[in-house]
Structure 1
Amino acid sequence: MVEHKYSKWTVEGDKKTEWICGCFQTADNFFKFCEMHEDTLKKAIQAQVDELDMTQVVEEKA
């Protein structure tokens, strides 16, 4: 079976999909979100970062 870069796994198997809005993925694997999805996806990403504890406290030196 051929695996597509953008796909959805279904009962029938791997189905090719395409973006239906202005969101896209850059060549270096960053995502750019369209105005319609930007706020929602930003909140989702921040929630995951917080849940996974992917940050550390940085103490500023005077």
Structure 2
Amino acid sequence: MSENKYSKWTVEGDKKIKWICGCFQTADNYFKFCDTHNVTLKKAIQAQIDELDMTLIVDD
């Protein structure tokens, strides 16, 4: 089965998808969120960082 440029792997296999907003992932694995989803996704990411304790305290 060939992979689509934009696709989602599902139980049924590789399904072609299309973007419905302006969110995207860059080639260097950073994400850019559209105006509609920006606030919500930032909150979700910050909550996960706090829950997973992915930060270090830095003394200057």
TM-score range, shorter chain: 0.7 to 0.9
Summarize deviations over 1:26-60 as a string: whole Å, max 9, x none.
11111100000000000000111111110011122
Change in CA separation of 1:54 and 1:6 when aligned onto 2, cut-off 3 Å: farther
Change in CA separation of 1:3 and 1:52 when aligned onto 2, cut-off 3 Å: farther
Distance in 2 of aligned mates of 1:13 and 1:27: 24
Percent identity over the alignment? Answer: 77
**Structure 1: runs of 5 or more not aligned:** none
**Structure 2: runs of 5 or more not aligned:** none
Aligned 1:1-62 pairs, distance under 5 A: 1-4=1-4, 6-60=6-60
Distance in 2 of aligned mates of 1:15 and 1:24: 18
User: Which structure has the bigger radius of gyration?
Assistant: 1
Q: Over aligned residues, Cα RMSD in angstroms?
A: 1.7
Per mean C-alpha deviation after superposition, the further-off stretch among 13-22 and 48-57 is 13-22
Distance in 2 of aligned mates of 1:53 and 1:36: 28
Distance in 2 of aligned mates of 1:14 and 1:43: 30
